[in-house]
Amino acid sequence: MKAENKICQNCKKEFVIEPDDFGFYEKIKVPPPTFCPECRHQRRLAIRNERVFYWRNCNSCNQKIISYYHGDKEQAVWCPSCWWSDKSNPLSYGKDFNFSKPFFEQFKDLYKKVPTLSLDIVNCKNSDYVSYCGDDNYCYFDIAGEKNEYCYFCKFIKYSKDCIDCSFVYNSELNYECVNCHKIYGSSFLNKCTDCSNCHFMYDCRSCTDCFGCWNLRNKSYHIFNKPYSREEYNKIVSGFNKKSFSALENLKKEFGKYSKKAITKFANLINSTNCTGDDLFNCKNVKESFDVSNAENGKYLCDVLDAKECYDLDFSLYKPSFNIELISTLNLGSSGFCNASHYSNDIWYCDKCNNSSDLFGCIGMSKKKYCILNKQYSKEEYLILKNKIIEHMKKTGEWGEFFPIGISNFGYNETVAQEYFPLTKEDCEKLSLPWWEKNTNTYKQETVDMDLLPDNIDDVKDEIMKEVLVCECGKNYKIVPYELNLYRKMGLPIPRKCPNCRHEKRIKLAGERKLWHQKCMNQDCMNEFETSYSPDRPEIVYCEKCYQQEIY
């Protein structure tokens, strides 16, 4: 079978379906996609709100809770205690399938009626404002975290402790503003570093200790801006860098920015990964056009995925997903497709928040169920016959093999992760008939603090700052919480002058785009070409694997 060029039904751009892709679609028994990879990715991200929280009342027990859904929305929302209790009976909302209507229309109608979970978290303790996390303890505003402790304002960090403002960091402790790092300790402002401790302002360094403002180092200690020093000289110079002062720290950032332009960037961070394309892949095999993926095999279009085998188009899917297509926010799904926030299940299709189940189609909020369609129970024989009839119906309506349309989850586009990677204005959404949510997310009513009046040095910051409301340059309010302030003091860093969302947006840009460009090696003596996530207009000096190895080692 040959590669085939297609025109995306959404953006009208051309995309290619490779021979191996056709083989996968035939094996999983879905038609080839009519949306390009980017538009498919945007659709999935638009079903996930992970950073916009609201206070509201649980529609079951009436207790005040934190939720993804604003109280004014037409959506039944239950707190975790009620949702997981025996009082929740999703089968009571079951409905017959209507073959005179599109499937998505019937699913959306069911979605509004079945109580949804206020926050998708599992076994998290003493953790307010965490989202899509498992086994967190004493965390705050941790997003997509796993087994973290005392981690604040982080995104997709795993098995870490005492970290603030970090993204895509694993097995690390006591760090600040680090991105794409593994096994780092007591460090700040690191990007693409592994096995480093007591390091600051570092880019692409491995197995380094006590280094400052360095790039492309391997197995080094006591270096400043890539120049070696004795231990005594290093400690004397570094002690003169006043990181406790906000203004001094800003100057250090600018200084490192000048030096870091000398850094050589490898076209992609592919560690122990063979026959792969994308960036930040670890222990992968035959994984293509994927980003931030570990221990995966034979997959394509994966983002923030762990331990996947034979999967296409997955986001935030963990715990050994296998033989799946178009999933987001899932754990341990097998032989499934087009699902959101569903866990530990097999052979479920077009489902939302279904757990420990199998053989479901178009279901919402089901737990420990089997052979159900639109939350209605059937026998095995009835289920299989009706499921096949619905699939044939969806083929005629053009729905089979496509992910849920944007807006089916009752989120405004601006509330979802799609806004981070595919930003749109309110006017854009109006033109595209996409939902937009107008409610102000600020809840603080006190007078805000003039940022110019804040102490420059962390040693001069009083505990009373936790009672104040700060205002970011973007206009949003934010506060400093107790343990956060303690960590700033412990690490000798000033309190931030920007809100958590603005800091997060900056780190997302630093982490790199999730898109590939065809480029040539920037070593003038080399003719190699490659696929890289560094666009041609970015300032990095990008080398192929061979030239990078020769330069660094």
Q: In whole numbers, what is the pLDDT of the chain averaged over residues?
A: 94
- Give exposure, 503-537, as e/b (b: 16+ Cβ within 10 Å): bbeebbeebbbbbbbebebbbeeeeeebebbbeee
Question: Would you say 534 and 519 are in contact if contact means Cβ atoms under 8 Å apart?
Answer: yes
Question: Would you say 493 and 524 are in contact if contact means Cβ atoms under 8 Å apart?
Answer: no
For range 228-237, the mean pLDDT: 97
Task: Provide the pLDDT for residue 446.
Answer: 58
Indicate the pLDDT class of residue 443, thresholds 50, 70 and 90.
very low
251-282: pLDDT as tens digits: 999 999 888 888 999 999 998 999 999 999 99
| Token couple for 420 | 């981070």
Amino acid at 29: K
Cα separation of the two ends of the chain: 42
Residue 171: CB atoms within 10 A of its CB come to: 17
Task: Provide the pLDDT for residue 174.
Answer: 97
Give the percent of the chain with pLDDT over 90.
Answer: 88
Task: Provide the pLDDT for residue 438.
Answer: 85
Task: Provide the pLDDT for residue 414.
Answer: 96
Closest CA to 259 of 289, 214, 307: 214
What is the number of alpha carbons within 13 Å of residue 6 lying toward its C-beta?
19
Tokens 């990715």, located at residue: 41
Q: Cα–chain-centroid distance for residue 14? A: 27
Question: Would you say 408 and 114 are in contact if contact means Cβ atoms under 8 Å apart?
Answer: no
By DSSP bridging, strand 140-143 and strand 116-117 are: unpaired
Task: Provide the pLDDT for residue 207.
Answer: 98
Angle at 276 between CA 260 and CA 215, to 5 degrees: 15
Task: Provide the pLDDT for residue 447.
Answer: 64
Q: What secondary structure letter does DSSP report for 404?
A: P
Tokens 């694997």, located at residue: 545
Q: Residue ranges of the domains in the chain? A: 4-34, 141-266
| Token couple for 507 | 């780190």
Look at residue 319 and give its three-state secondary structure: coil
Look at residue 37 and give its three-state secondary structure: helix
Give the percent of the chain with pLDDT over 70.
Answer: 98
Task: Provide the pLDDT for residue 523.
Answer: 95
Would you list the DSSP string of 409-470?
Answer: TS--GGGSTHHHHS---HHHHHHHT------------SPEEPGGGS-SBGGG--GGGGGSEE
For range 78-86, the mean pLDDT: 91
* CA–CA separation, 493 and 488 (whole Å): 5
Helices (H) and strands (E) in the chain, counts: 12, 36
* CA–CA separation, 385 and 363 (whole Å): 17
* CA–CA separation, 15 and 40 (whole Å): 12
* CA–CA separation, 79 and 56 (whole Å): 10
210-231: pLDDT as tens digits: 999 999 999 999 999 999 999 9
pLDDT at 289 over 90: yes
Contacts of 262 (CB under 8 A, 6+ apart): 215, 226, 541
* CA–CA separation, 209 and 231 (whole Å): 11
Task: Provide the pLDDT for residue 440.
Answer: 57
For range 185-209, the mean pLDDT: 97
Look at residue 328 and give its three-state secondary structure: strand
Would you list the DSSP string of 35-102?
Answer: S-HHHHHHHHHTT---S--EEEE-TTT--EEEESS-TTSS--EE-HHHHTSTT--GGGG-----TTS-
Q: What is the CA radius of gyration of the chain?
A: 25
475-516: pLDDT as tens digits: 888 999 999 999 999 999 999 999 999 999 999 988 888 999
Question: Would you say 134 and 123 are in contact if contact means Cβ atoms under 8 Å apart?
Answer: yes
For range 98-102, the mean pLDDT: 98
Question: Would you say 107 and 119 are in contact if contact means Cβ atoms under 8 Å apart?
Answer: no
Indicate the pLDDT class of residue 451, thresholds 50, 70 and 90.
confident
For range 297-312, the mean pLDDT: 97
Look at residue 405 and give its three-state secondary structure: coil
348-361: pLDDT as tens digits: 999 999 999 999 99
For range 381-390, the mean pLDDT: 98
* CA–CA separation, 193 and 467 (whole Å): 36
State the pTM of this model. Answer: 0.93
Would you list the DSSP string of 108-171?
Answer: HHHHHHS-EESS--BS-BS-BS-BS-BS-BS-EEEES-BS-EEEEEEES-BS-EEEES-EEEES
3-state secondary structure 222-242: EEECCEECCHHHHHHHHHCCC
Indicate the pLDDT class of residue 163, thresholds 50, 70 and 90.
very high
